[in-house]
């Protein structure tokens, strides 16, 4: 798969470079950077391209009417970063806004043993997602969860002393906010400057004893606190067949997770499934030393498969079945045993598009078929009849977001083979949003709006044809 992606020149009416184009350029730049930093990422990209080509060749219906997926596959990525201070989170929200990326969803991973809470910055309009769906899962360290008060203060002091953004990146962000956009050359400069924030730094900002203390508190705490900036810790390509990708990883000698996070394999994929290879052990140099004298483990490779976005009713059923699988308590249960229980529990979840749509479990985009109404007129209010008659097509809406249990599982992929059973949301969202300086958008509401808008557009088009 080529990493080249050169979107068409898109500009606003007053000469500013469109945020979608800035986002596409940044996604291309960070992908090239990460390929150089983590060669195994390039292996994953090539592997996924081969798996996708085979899937498309073997099953021409694999996209299930979603015509935008094929165009996205080659460039689609999601990344992940971990921030240390409220100020960093607030500023990164402003920076991502320049790229047309907004905070969607709130994920509190602390109850799964990971001391962070998170959101995903991504485009929200259907056209922007189709152009380039780049997203960044962004976590903020919760220092208050460090039990040792002295160590907590040490971490806070280290984080206060660093500045993770270049002065030029901040200036261009402010310019965008003041003027409403950036010109083409400024947009390119913005991409180059922001990229500096996410580079890998092999030199730690702390000495070895401090690093070890933070590592003992939690490996993720050391990863956030001990470096100059929030290096991108994974960049994820999208596959059409994650089970085949998992097998291929093993065949190529890549040590993958024992099981795939998310729902089990299905005829109609739902929500999100993820797998990853074990985090790399990378040599680092501690503060005050001249040669690499330590190792740090944080960055890894991940692959994802996205499926149908579920309605609130669908999510309630998903959560109930997931809870049943996790409640089947078996002493010393392994991840592979949990996967078998998951498959058993999810036999109760419908697995064909017609049933999923008719039972209101999934979201669909409705479009008028070309040449519809050539032989008669239909009741514009009877959507189901229009679908049966072939006048209207129901296309599954892709799930663009993340699952808290899966996120926790990926974060902990190098800790143990045993499963994490406990997960529940807490009341920390209000604090997170105050820090962010914005309200996180509700992902299900976005899908509801997209589906409703497509129905309204179909009705408008039908009424025009009836009047004609």
φ, ψ for residue 86, nearest 5 deg: -55, -40
Question: In sequence order, what are the residues at sequence separation of 6 or more whose Cβ sits closer than 8 angstroms to the Cβ of residue 117?
Answer: 106, 107, 108, 109, 110, 139, 140, 142, 428, 429, 432
Burial pattern 54-79, b for ≥16 Cβ within 10 A else e, equals ebeeeeeebbeebebbeebbbbbbbb
Per residue in 122-157, pLDDT (tens digit) is 999 999 999 999 999 999 999 988 889 999 999 999
- What is the H or E stretch that residue 78 is in? strand 77-83
- What is the H or E stretch that residue 390 is in? none
Average pLDDT over residues 2-20: 61
Reported as a pLDDT band with limits 50, 70 and 90, residue 3 is very low
Average pLDDT over residues 179-189: 96
Q: What is the CA radius of gyration of the chain?
A: 23
For the chain, domain boundaries: 19-307+401-436, 310-348, 363-396+438-468
**Distance of alpha carbon 99 from alpha carbon 208, whole angstroms:** 38
Reported as a pLDDT band with limits 50, 70 and 90, residue 284 is confident
Question: Tell me, which fold does domain 19-307+401-436 have in CATH?
Answer: 2,3-Dihydroxybiphenyl 1,2-Dioxygenase; domain 1 (3.10.180)
**Distance of alpha carbon 246 from alpha carbon 335, whole angstroms:** 15
**What's the pLDDT score for residue 15?**
86
Question: In sequence order, what are the residues at sequence separation of 6 or more whose Cβ sits closer than 8 angstroms to the Cβ of residue 230?
Answer: 81, 82, 83, 84, 88, 164, 197, 198, 224
Which CA distances in Å does 85 have to 107, 131, 195, 224?
Answer: 17, 32, 19, 10
- If one compares 178 and 42, the residue with the highest pLDDT of the two is 178
CB 307 within 8 A of CB 270: yes
Largest CA distance in the chain: 81
Question: CB-hemisphere CA count at 13 Å for 313?
Answer: 11
- If one compares 425 and 242, the residue with the highest pLDDT of the two is 242
CB 34 within 8 A of CB 41: yes
What pTM did the predictor assign? 0.89
Instruction: Identify any residues that bridge with 394 across adjacent strands, giving them in sequence order.
Output: 366
Per residue in 39-94, pLDDT (tens digit) is 888 888 999 999 999 988 876 666 666 666 777 888 889 999 999 999 999 999 99
**What's the pLDDT score for residue 424?**
46
**Distance of alpha carbon 187 from alpha carbon 296, whole angstroms:** 34
**What's the pLDDT score for residue 421?**
43
In this prediction, what percent of the chain has a pLDDT beyond 90?
58
**Distance of alpha carbon 140 from alpha carbon 83, whole angstroms:** 5
**Distance of alpha carbon 270 from alpha carbon 47, whole angstroms:** 22
Per residue in 241-280, pLDDT (tens digit) is 999 999 998 888 888 877 888 899 999 999 999 988 877 7
Per residue in 108-123, pLDDT (tens digit) is 988 778 889 999 999 9
């Amino acid at each position: 798969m080529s990493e080249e992606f050169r979107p068409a020149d898109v500009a606003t009416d007053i000469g500013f470079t469109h945020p979608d184009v800035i986002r596409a350029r940044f996604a291309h730049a960070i992908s090239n950077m990460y390929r150089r930093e983590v060669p195994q990422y390039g292996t994953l990209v090539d592997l996924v391209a081969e798996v996708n080509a085979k899937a498309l060749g073997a099953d021409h219906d694999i996209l299930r009417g979603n015509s935008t997926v094929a165009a996205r596959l080659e460039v689609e990525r999601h990344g992940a970063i971990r921030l240390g201070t409220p100020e960093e989170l607030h500023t990164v929200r402003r920076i991502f806004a320049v790229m047309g990326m907004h905070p969607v969803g709130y994920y509190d991973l602390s109850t799964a043993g990971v001391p962070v809470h998170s959101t995903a910055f991504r485009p929200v309009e259907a056209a922007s997602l189709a152009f380039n769906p780049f997203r960044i899962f962004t976590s903020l360290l919760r220092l208050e969860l460090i039990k040792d008060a002295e160590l907590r203060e040490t971490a806070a002091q280290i984080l206060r002393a660093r500045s993770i953004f270049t002065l030029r990146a901040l200036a261009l962000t402010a310019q965008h906010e003041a003027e409403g956009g950036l010109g083409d050359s400024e947009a390119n400069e913005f991409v180059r400057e922001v990229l500096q924030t996410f580079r890998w730094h092999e030199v730690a900002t702390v000495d070895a004893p401090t690093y070890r203390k933070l590592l003992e508190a939690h490996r993720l705490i050391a990863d956030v606190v001990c470096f100059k900036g929030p290096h991108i810790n994974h960049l994820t390509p999208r596959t059409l067949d994650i089970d085949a990708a998992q097998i291929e990883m093993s065949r190529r000698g890549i040590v993958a997770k024992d099981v795939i996070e998310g729902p089990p394999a299905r005829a109609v994929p739902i929500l999100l499934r993820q797998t990853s290879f074990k985090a790399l052990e990378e040599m680092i140099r501690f503060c005050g030393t001249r040669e690499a004298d330590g190792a740090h483990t944080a960055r890894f490779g991940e692959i994802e498969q996205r499926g149908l976005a579920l309605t609130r009713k669908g999510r309630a059923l998903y959560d109930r079945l997931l809870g049943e699988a996790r409640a089947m308590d078996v002493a010393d249960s392994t991840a592979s045993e949990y996967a078998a229980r998951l498959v058993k529990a999810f036999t109760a979840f419908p697995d064909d598009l017609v049933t999923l749509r008719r039972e209101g479990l999934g979201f669909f985009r409705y479009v008028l078929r070309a040449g519809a109404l050539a032989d008669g007129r239909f009741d514009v209010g009877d959507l189901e009849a229009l679908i049966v008659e072939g006048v209207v097509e129901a296309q599954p809406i892709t799930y663009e977001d993340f699952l808290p249990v899966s996120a926790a599982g990926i974060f902990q992929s190098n800790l143990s083979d045993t499963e994490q059973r406990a997960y529940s949301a807490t009341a920390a969202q209000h604090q997170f949003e105050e820090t962010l300086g914005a309200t996180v958008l509700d992902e299900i509401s976005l899908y509801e709006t997209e589906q409703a808008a497509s129905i309204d557009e179909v009705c408008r088009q039908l009424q025009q044809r009836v009047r004609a």
